[in-house]
Structure 1
Amino acid sequence: MSFDASTDDILSADNHLIQSFCDLDALKQNSGRTVINRAKGAYVYDSDGRELIDGIAGLWCVNVGHGRPEIIQAVTEQLNTLDYYSTFYNFTHPSAATLARKLAALAPGSLNNVYFANSGSAANDSAIRILHHYWQRRGKPGKRHVLSRIGGYHGSTYLAMAMTTPAYSDGWTSADEIVHHLRSPHHWREGEGLSEAEFLDALMEDLEQSIARIGADNIAAFIAEPIMGAGGVIVAPRGYHARALEICHAHDIKYISDEVVTAFGRLGHFFASQDVFGIEPDIITSAKGLTSGYQPLSATIISDEIYDVISAPGEKFLHGFTYSGHPAAAAAALANIGIMEREKLPEQVRRTGKQFEETLRGLGDIDIVGEVRGSHFMMGIELVRDKETKEPFDEAVEIGNRVAMAAQERGLIARPLGNSLILSPTLVMSSEMIERTGAILRDSIEAVMAELRG
């Protein structure tokens, strides 16, 4: 079908695609669907020709913006040279090898060993499977359980979904027999009557008690996003990650930092674990911004200590995916990182990201804006019926979706998540575009407020 086909033509022809995280029944009637058929820079364009600020960067991932010729050319040249070969057995190829070396240089400390897959879900599944093998080789096969958190999001494959906050598993099954969820670190919602420091102490006590209840000899790892993404952009109390890592290591539990969203500039650094939160985890997982979404690719980056155990003589590494380290995907990642380094995008985000954060925090004077949270180009806005009591809107009101649709009518894509809006735009937004985004959001929220008042 041509790119200039009408919206009706596209939707009437699209009767076979199963879309992700949506109401499939509603889609049968083509309810509320938007066809994106073109993109450039920080903008996307729908099939009716409307220009929209891409306020969610595709899905947290188009960090360097759309239509970058450097990445497109790198992928094209790679396909013309070597379209595909696996990294199975004794085979490798230049793109994957070069990218692994580059990521080892960018990652903190001793995280020098890189396993490629195709998604954040697969990266997190790989991290757990590698650690299960690691503990087997260390003579501790009982260490299979995983500590996660209420509000975390780690993917939608069977194991990754088990590690994700239970709200995403409603009506589905997952490998939840080996996953245990700790308290949400959301101080504004969960820390009633406690200072941030007191709430942090309570969270660490919950971690200690969970380890004691399950038994440290049964726990393989603790997994945490530096800032929770699809759980609502939740920022843990200051010092949370450093104290959690210290407790985990004291009990011989590995620490996985899920940087699928936070890596590659979103918080102003290539990796946030050490540069923003002051920790060197045992494993970092990444995806999304690794290629800016131009190709599907993820990386599970493990410490030298873990690698030395799983690469010692005696057993083979029996884990792999057909497209791990795909040449075109690796070429896209290298070109993407090259753009970030040449244009100093992480450094730029430390300025423009702070402007974006402050612009959105300025919406806090609106009656139904309960909390604006996040950092740099990773922000959440929670909408409430009553600001004093923090009473949420009823689900039937669909407040997040109504504001998101109002914003889209005004030229901005924002992601509704229950009573919240999520903003995770491209990292190439100008100051003027940031101001426009803030103005659209204010106008949209106030318009929906007027509708609710009747």
Structure 2
Amino acid sequence: MTYTQADSAYDHLWMHFTRMSSYRDTPPPMIVRGDGAYIYDSQGKRYLDGLSGLFVVQAGHGREELAEAAAKQARELAFFPLWGGYSHPAAVELAERLAGYAPGDLNKVFFTTGGGEAVETAWKAAKQYFKLTGKPRKYKVISRAVAYHGTPHGALSITGIPEAKMDFEPLVPGAHKVPNTNFYRAAEISGVPSLAEDEATFGRWAADQVEQAILMEGPDTVAAVFVEPVQNSGGCITPPPGYFERLREICDTYDVLLVSDEVICAFGRLGTMFGAQRYGYQPDIITCAKGMTSGYSPIGAAILSDRIAAPFYEGTNMFGHGYTFGGHPVSASVALANLDIFEREGLTQHVLDNQAAFRATLEKLRDLPIVGDVRGDGYFYGIELVKDKATKETFDEEESERLLRGFMSGALFEAGLYCRADDRGDPVVQLSPPLICEQEHFDEIESVLRDVLTRAGKLL
């Protein structure tokens, strides 16, 4: 019997967030090539990349200029760290570029290699900022239920998914949770049925829960609030009208930093360079990663306001934090080339021009009994699945397992669509296609989903 690369994948490659036992006798899919909005497996089969890899490949697959940017930089300077007072041109240029895109006075860029590290950086910076400014007791953070902020111990502590944390506890102390803004579930989230009648009223209630948490913990102990512009886990949960305006007001009142976690929402996903710009709020820190290079090389960043950075720039103070590969020359050069594509091809405007068509195409699926809600913004959508449309009854654990992992994940992929069937929170299908996608791709997504969701409904 021939030992194949698929056998090697099971024997040696420990895949992330993967039940490895599933591949003891069945080889995992082997993706070998990408072109535009499509990926291809080792058998030559084509799939529409409905998730941009993992909310990453904004400019699409197969961009020669990004590969060339990496090769050119590697030939000139393959690596040099940003430690101990040294810099290199690509990191300096990228930092200036990001500061120019970021809202307000977010002018200081601290590079990491990914999103979880960026979140970790933001929390550590917030803690030290308050120590340097005479408020050493302010170290706690508040985030939202079901929100995902990464897997490092600090970022995982901020994450609001109990199942993701239980195997790694005890985690970093001081992380507290408040309700999220899923208006579809407003009545059960709030316990007040009338709040499901008006989105703005529910949004005010949800924002006020942040204030209550700050008061409960003590304003002199809370350093930061971490929120995504559109919350990923739970299925692309959007902010109600006025939510971020009220949240900014609360943070200002109690001297709490507002951290906008934009690891997914930055770089055009919502039709703006940063998600905070989409909803008109001013963060103190933005965390970002994924789409900065369209996934062609790993990089992340925390972008801090001048005010927050100021005490770190005084006297002998320093931020005792860093990563060997943070701001890597090759990754920084790829990011610059990627941002050139954004500007040359108008990718953010392309999303704004086509987002209504994407939404309208997905909204067609509401006629299916299994589709409870379609929500999101830009090119970032979740479809919540329900057992009973009239009552919004969701699936129990066994039903969800059978529906998502037992059927839908495989069926969608087999039908030629790579996306995510997820049950962190209520069961959802998530869609986040490359920003180059147009109506023909939307129609293909809807067609595959209609077929698979129809078959899924008959299984229950």
Given the two structures, how large is their TM-score scaled by the length of structure 1? Answer: 0.95
- Map residues 1-400 of structure 1 onto 2, 5 A cutoff: 9-14=4-9, 15-30=11-26, 33-167=28-162, 168-191=164-187, 192-194=193-195, 195-274=198-277, 276-397=278-399, 398-400=402-404
> In structure 1, what residue type is equivalent to 2:281?
I
Determine if contact 1:144/1:178 at 8 Å carries over to the other structure: yes
Determine if contact 1:415/1:423 at 8 Å carries over to the other structure: yes
- Residue 134 of structure 1 aligns to a residue whose secondary structure is helix
Q: 1:433 aligns with which of 427, 441, 447?
A: 441
Structure 1 residue 339 displacement after superposition: 0.3
CA distance in 2 between partners of 1:366 and 1:154 (Å): 32
> In structure 2, what residue type is equivalent to 1:99?
L
CA distance in 1 between partners of 2:329 and 2:447 (Å): 42
CA distance in 1 between partners of 2:234 and 2:288 (Å): 17
Gaps of 5+ in 2: 188-192
Structure 1 residue 153 displacement after superposition: 1.1
CA distance in 2 between partners of 1:26 and 1:264 (Å): 35
> In structure 1, what residue type is equivalent to 2:342?
M
Determine if contact 2:102/2:274 at 8 Å carries over to the other structure: yes
Gaps of 5+ in 1: 1-5
- Residue 168 of structure 2 aligns to a residue whose secondary structure is coil
Determine if contact 2:200/2:243 at 8 Å carries over to the other structure: no
Aligned partner of 1:424 in structure 2 is 432
Aligned partner of 1:3 in structure 2 is none
2:412 is aligned with 1:411: no
Overall identity of the aligned pairs, in % = 38
CA distance in 2 between partners of 1:70 and 1:111 (Å): 29
> In structure 2, what residue type is equivalent to 1:56?
L
- Residue 235 of structure 1 aligns to a residue whose secondary structure is coil
- Residue 194 of structure 2 aligns to a residue whose secondary structure is coil
Structure 1 residue 377 displacement after superposition: 0.9
Structure 1 residue 166 displacement after superposition: 2.7
Determine if contact 1:40/1:65 at 8 Å carries over to the other structure: yes
**Bigger mean CA offset, 190-199 vs 125-134:** 190-199
CA distance in 1 between partners of 2:255 and 2:395 (Å): 43
Superposed CA deviations along residues 370-417 of structure 1, whole A, max 9, x for unmatched, are 111111210001111100111112332332342332222221111010
> In structure 2, what residue type is equivalent to 1:430?
E
CA distance in 1 between partners of 2:234 and 2:226 (Å): 14
- Residue 380 of structure 1 aligns to a residue whose secondary structure is strand
Structure 1 residue 146 displacement after superposition: 0.3
Determine if contact 2:234/2:428 at 8 Å carries over to the other structure: no
CA distance in 2 between partners of 1:231 and 1:154 (Å): 13
- Residue 391 of structure 1 aligns to a residue whose secondary structure is coil
Superposed CA deviations along residues 220-265 of structure 1, whole A, max 9, x for unmatched, are 1001000011332111212211211110111000000001111111
- Residue 266 of structure 1 aligns to a residue whose secondary structure is coil
CA distance in 2 between partners of 1:414 and 1:182 (Å): 28
**Bigger mean CA offset, 39-48 vs 188-197:** 188-197
Structure 1 residue 174 displacement after superposition: 4.9
CA distance in 2 between partners of 1:383 and 1:133 (Å): 43
- Residue 76 of structure 1 aligns to a residue whose secondary structure is helix
Number of residue equivalences: 444
**Bigger mean CA offset, 50-59 vs 181-190:** 181-190
> In structure 2, what residue type is equivalent to 1:109?
G
Aligned partner of 1:443 in structure 2 is 451
